[in-house]
Amino acid sequence: MAIPSDTKIAELLTELHQLIKQTQEERSRSEHNLLNIQKTHERMQTENKTSPYYRTKLRGLYTTAKADAEAECSILRHALDKIAEIKSLLEERRIAAKMAGVYSDSDPPRKTMRRGVLMTLLQQSAMTLPLWIGKPGESPPPLCGAIPASSDYVAKQGDKVAARVKAVDGDEQWILAEVVSYNHSTNKYEVDDIDEEGKERHTLSRRRIIPLPQWKANPETDPEALFSKDQLVLALYPQTTCFYRALIHTPPHRPQDDYSVLFEDTSYADGYSPPLNVAQRYVVACKENKKK
């Protein structure tokens, strides 16, 4: 017998499939109208005049095209909501399994995971981070791209964060971690090092935690939600689970693009590494301004 979450996920997948079919039907219907607009413009160019007839006809065609686009947009937003709900249920199931000590083949405990597998999972997490798609005039919310969390925000169990911890040698470093719990009485988090899950747990104050973005910012519609060139950030160094100080070399130009960053590195003459790509998911604001 399937557990409730499995049943709910199956229902949501069926609903999502129907919404995708509706999107295609809506698009096929609107294409006929767009073709009429194109043909009308071609006739106007051939006759080299814009008569009241053509103006009235185009006004009607464009009104229909706008309504078609809004209908398709509504269906797509509904589909995105379904995807978000499915991802949320899968995450709840993963956390419940982790707490119960039960792991699946696709998500084994970190301490038994090969390094390459962990890096692949982190890359997949970055690629599947949803893109923020606001309505006209709507501003991107906190935790979209470079926009920080609100001052009273509390990261949820299972959320990924940048956490400042003491290393074995006594130095402090920023690591990629997963939230286990938050104590409202002490205002402290318990987090697991993503690279040492179940083996290394840290109790940290809020100021030592930076929540990671929950949406990618779209450079084409919301460039203000991205870090700008030469801005100081903390970025996850490629093929590691540690964040290091870096300067933004080039912000993303398209939604699927990564940042290009220059990591602070004293082994180079100018003090910075060559440009390296880091996904939006793993770039956060730097809390320290002084260069080390």
In the block, tokens 């260069």 appear at 291
Which is nearest to 277 in space by CA: 249, 254, 253?
249
Mean pLDDT of the chain: 89
Q: Rounded distance, CA 213 to CA 147, Å?
A: 8
Q: 165: which 2 tokens?
A: 């911890």
- pLDDT per position as a tens digit, 195-247: 865 567 899 999 999 999 999 999 999 999 999 999 999 999 999 999 999 99
Which is nearest to 210 in space by CA: 191, 237, 230?
191
Q: What is the pLDDT of residue 105?
A: 52
- pLDDT per position as a tens digit, 159-181: 999 999 987 777 899 999 999 99
- pLDDT per position as a tens digit, 16-55: 999 999 999 999 989 999 999 999 999 998 888 788 888 9
pTM of the predicted protein model: 0.78
> Where is average pLDDT lowest: 63-72, 132-141, 196-205, 244-253?
196-205
Kindly list the domain boundaries of the chain, sorted by start residue. Answer: 5-100
Q: Is the pLDDT of residue 292 over 70?
A: no
Say whether 138 sits in a helix, a strand or coil. coil
Q: What is the pLDDT of residue 139?
A: 94
